[in-house]
Amino acid sequence: MKKILSMICFLFLFGTKSEAGMMIDPYIGYAINQQEITQTVGAQTGQIDYTTSGSLFGARVGWQTLGLMLGGEFAYGPSLTQELTASALSGISTGAETDYSGTYMGAFIGYDFPILLRAWATYFFNITYAPESGSDVEANGTSFGVGFSGLPFVSLNAEYRMISYDNSAIDDSSEVFLSVSLPITF
């Protein structure tokens, strides 16, 4: 009985995804990022909170076999908006906005389950935010995502990203990214 149950589990997990090949997963979505900055103004030191939002498009490109996915990811956000939402410092008012663009480059690993679900993790080794005025801000981060692939040719995705900034007053931030993608394996 144990052998039969083991064989059924093996066929369920690996039986429907037996092809190996290149994969491309182009996506478009909307990101919402929460940032905290510790800032000193005069004799005061306090937290300032920002909310950043905007659309991103990109692709995961790599290799897939038996459901296992490996490859690289690139995303671009042409028009992101950062808004000051809360300030613990007097003299700094909320509502100020900054426009910028962002690029994300990383490597991912994931698994495409045969039960209409996909999961992946991405390490972004290079994230660059370029404000309209001022210098670029460099970062890196980790992303964990899941996708529902029950619709024909389309996957509905949700990701949680943790971003760490290099040489910046910005403390670590978190980002939620909701997207629609078109996973193709050939």
pLDDT tens digit at each of 186 positions of the chain: 556 555 555 544 554 444 679 999 999 999 999 888 777 667 777 777 889 999 999 999 999 998 999 999 999 999 999 888 876 666 666 777 889 999 999 999 999 998 899 999 999 999 999 998 888 989 999 999 999 988 888 999 999 999 998 877 777 789 999 999 999 988
Q: Is residue 97 part of a domain?
A: yes
Q: Is residue 39 part of a domain?
A: yes
CB 153 within 8 A of CB 177: no
**Total Cβ atoms within 10 A of residue 69:** 21
What separation in angstroms does the CA of 175 have from each of 46, 100, 124, 142, 159? 22, 16, 13, 10, 8
Output the domain CATH number for residue 86: 2.40.160.20
What phi and psi values does residue 94 have, to the nearest 5 degrees?
A: -80, 165
Q: Which residues sit opposite 127 in a β-bridge?
A: 104, 139
Q: Residues with Cβ < 8 Å from 3, sequence gap 6 or more? A: none
As a whole number of angstroms, the distance between CA 153 and CA 4 comes to 33
Predicted local confidence at residue 15, as pLDDT: 47
Q: Is residue 31 part of a domain?
A: yes
What is the residue range of 81's domain? 18-185
Q: Which residues sit opposite 105 in a β-bridge?
A: 74, 126
Q: Is residue 149 part of a domain?
A: yes
Sign of the CA dihedral running 158, 160, 166, 171: positive
Encoded tokens for 41: 């103004």
Q: Is residue 1 part of a domain?
A: no
As a whole number of angstroms, the distance between CA 56 and CA 61 comes to 16
CB 111 within 8 A of CB 118: yes
Q: How many domains are there within the chain?
A: 1
CB 124 within 8 A of CB 108: no
Q: Is the full-model pTM beyond 0.75?
A: yes
The C-alpha R_g of the chain, in whole angstroms, comes to: 20
Strands 117-131 and 44-65: unpaired
Cα 152 to its chain centre, rounded Å, is 23
Q: Is residue 144 part of a domain?
A: yes
Q: Is residue 2 part of a domain?
A: no
Q: Is residue 4 part of a domain?
A: no
